[in-house]
Amino acid sequence: MNHFADKVRNSNRILIQGSSGAGKSTFARTLSQLLEISVIHMDQHFWQEGWTRPDPKEWYEKQLSFYKQEKWIIEGGAYKKTLPQRAKASDLVIYLDFNRFFCFYRCIKRYFQYRGKTRPDLAEGCNEQVDYAFAKWILHEQPDIYGPRAIETIKENILHSNLMIIRSPRQLKELRKELICH
C-alpha cells in the first residue's frame, strides 16, 4: 500500500469514481484535508433543486472548466460523455470497486441518516431518496454495465499505472491510514 499512498501524495488532480454508496465523497473529503486540495462533488454541480437535470450543453461546458484547474479532487457521477476528458486530465484515478450489496446497504443507511435533508455533497433541494430506479442502478446497472465500461474508458485514456482500483472497504481503510500516518 506504501506505493499507492506515495502516488496519491504526489498527485495534483485526482479523480475518484465508483458506485453510489462506495464512499467516494467521504474519501474525497479526507484526501482534501490531507493534501490541501479542494474537492469538486460532481453531483453537487449536476443536480439542481428537486433532482432536475441541467441543460446538457451547459453541463458539458461546466465540467470542462473543472478540468482546467491546477489542482483538484473530483468525485462522483459517471457522466460518461466527459469521462475520457476527466481521465486524461487526471494524474491519478481511484476507482472504488466494492460489492454491490455493500454499496446498497450504505445507500439505505445514508437514506435514514439524511431522510428529508440534503447531503453536503449534493445541491440544495435534492433531498436524500432511494427508489426502485436507484436500487436497480446500484444492484445491477452500475456493477454490471456502467462500472466495467467506466474502467475500460479510464484505461483507454490514462496510463494504466495511474489507475488504482480499490476492491474493498478494508483496502480503502488501509490506504487512508497510510496517508494519515506518513
pLDDT, mean of residues 74-86: 84
Q: Measuring CA to CA, how many Å separate 109 from each of 38, 67, 105, 112, 177? A: 27, 32, 6, 5, 24
Count of structural domains within the chain = 1
Quick: pLDDT tens for 95-143. 999 999 999 999 999 999 999 999 998 989 999 999 999 999 999 999 9
Q: What's the CATH number where 32 sits?
A: 3.40.50.300
pLDDT > 70? residue 2: no
Radius of gyration of the chain (CA): 16
pLDDT computed for residue 4 by the predictor? 84
Domain holding 95, by residue range, is 2-181
pLDDT for 1 beyond 70:
no
Work out the angle between the directed axes of helices 24-35 and 2-9 (0-180°, nearest 10).
70
- pLDDT tens column, 145-164: 999 999 999 999 988 789 99
For the cut 80, the answer to whether the pLDDT of residue 71 exceeds it is yes
